Amino acid sequence: MRILLTGSNGLIGRAVIAGLAAEGHNVFCLTRPQSPPQSRMIHWDPVAGTINKDELEDFDAVVHLAGETIVGRWTPAKKARIMESRVKGTRFLCESLAHLRDRPLVLVSASAIGYYGDRGARVMTEESSAGDLYLSLVTKAWEEATKPATENGIRVVNLRIGFVLSKEGGGLAAMLLPFKVGVGGRVGSGSQYLSWIAIDDVVGAISHAILTDSLRGPVNAVAPNPVTNREFTKALGSVLGRPTIFPLPVFAAHLAMGEMADNLLLASTRVEPVKLRETGYQFRYPDLRGALRHVLGKK
């Protein structure tokens, strides 16, 4: 298949390029002009609203991962960039795809389990309502921005991605140093749920979404066994062979990260991958300790 990918320089994008290429697909990258040169590259500027639509013709599928990183202190300007990059960029891409002569059959557009917000121990499925945290508002608007594609006959999958396990970047990579030196520990009470997924299964879920005609709308990309922050902490410490006796109090999390702490570290989001399981996706790493050993290269 000919597949067009945005967000190719990000953690997931790099893994998706390698994974889809290994499956024999021809992957082209839709990037900004200032991005590092890549083979099979097409330029666009979602902020300026420029793209050569002729270059978008004849693709079988599009995977849309681009967006401002959520890492960093959430100043008003940062929050505006997070929202605008996702909503404006997604809408512009979908409007461009909708007006092609030969539209792609499927668009897999990234979203996040932040959609559900802070929901305690309640189990969230794709049918659950949106929460009321900032990331909930972002992801809801993000998904709504794909409507131009849906309304023009493109099958759209909004992939709600959980906490990605990879040593190459993201939240786990940021946690490794304190845990390796023995000062890692639970955050707050540790009772908040963390719905995680190994990077290999993110790639697998994207490939599955492309190839499974019955999948459309929101799809939870999380492993089938969510854990509490306390359980995650113990598992990571065990895999690394380090103690986990230094908890991070709530006030310290707020001091270090501000509003981002409420949305990422302290929110409890217990999510089940109902649609992936119903359509036969086989998780490569359904168990947390096995997933951690794999991504960290531990036996």
**56 has pLDDT over 80:** yes
Arithmetic mean of pLDDT, 189-194 = 96
Q: Percentage of the chain surpassing pLDDT 70? A: 98
In the predicted structure, residue 38 carries a pLDDT above the cut 70: no
Tokens of 282: 């086989």
Q: Which residues contact 64 (CB under 8 A, 6 or more apart)?
A: 6, 7, 90, 93, 107, 108, 109, 110
Q: Which two tokens stand for residue 186?
A: 């639970």
pLDDT digits (tens, 9 = 90+) for 118-155: 999 999 999 999 999 999 999 999 999 999 999 999 99
Of the candidate ranges 100-104, 167-171, 195-199, 276-280, the one whose mean pLDDT is the lowest: 167-171
Asked if residue 33 has pLDDT above 80, the reply is no
Largest CA distance in the chain: 60
pLDDT score, position 289: 97
pLDDT value for 72: 84
Q: What are phi and psi of 163, to 5 degrees?
A: -70, 115
What distances in angstroms separate CA 152 from CA 9, 43, 95, 97, 99, one per listed residue? 29, 23, 9, 9, 8
Give the SS3 label for residue 143: helix
Please report the pLDDT score of residue 254 as a whole number.
84
What's the pLDDT at 273? 98
Query: Tokens 């399981």 identify what position?
Result: 277
- pLDDT over threshold 80, residue 28: yes
Return the pLDDT at 253.
83
| Phi, psi dihedral angles at 187 (to 5 degrees) | -110, 125
pLDDT value for 39: 61
- The structure's pTM equals 0.95
The label of the residue with tokens 């802070």 reads 118
Residue 36: pLDDT over 80: no
Burial of 131 (0-12, 13-18, 19+ CB in 10 A): buried
The reported pLDDT for the residue numbered 37 is 61
Position 255 pLDDT exceeds 90: no
Q: Is the pLDDT of residue 299 over 80?
A: no
Per the CB < 8 A criterion, the answer to whether 30 and 7 are in contact is no
What are the backbone angles phi and psi of residue 172, rounded to the nearest 5°?
A: -65, -45
Residue 29: Cβ-neighbour burial (10 angstroms; 0-12, 13-18, 19+): buried
CA distances 206 to 45, 101, 111, 119, 181, Å, are 24, 25, 12, 26, 35
Helices (H), 2-122: 11-22, 76-98
Q: What is the pLDDT of residue 90?
A: 97
Average of per-residue pLDDT values in the chain: 94
Residue 21 is predicted with a pLDDT of 94
- Whether the pLDDT of residue 63 is over 80: the answer is yes
Rounded CA gap, 291 and 284, in Å? 9
Domains of the chain listed by start with CATH number: 2-164+197-222+271-284 (3.40.50.720)
Average the pLDDT over 69-88 and give the result.
92
Helix (H, G, I), strand (E, B) or coil at 146: coil
Q: Is residue 211 pLDDT above 80, yes or no?
A: yes
Residue 35: its pLDDT value, please? 63
Overall average pLDDT of the 16-21 stretch: 96
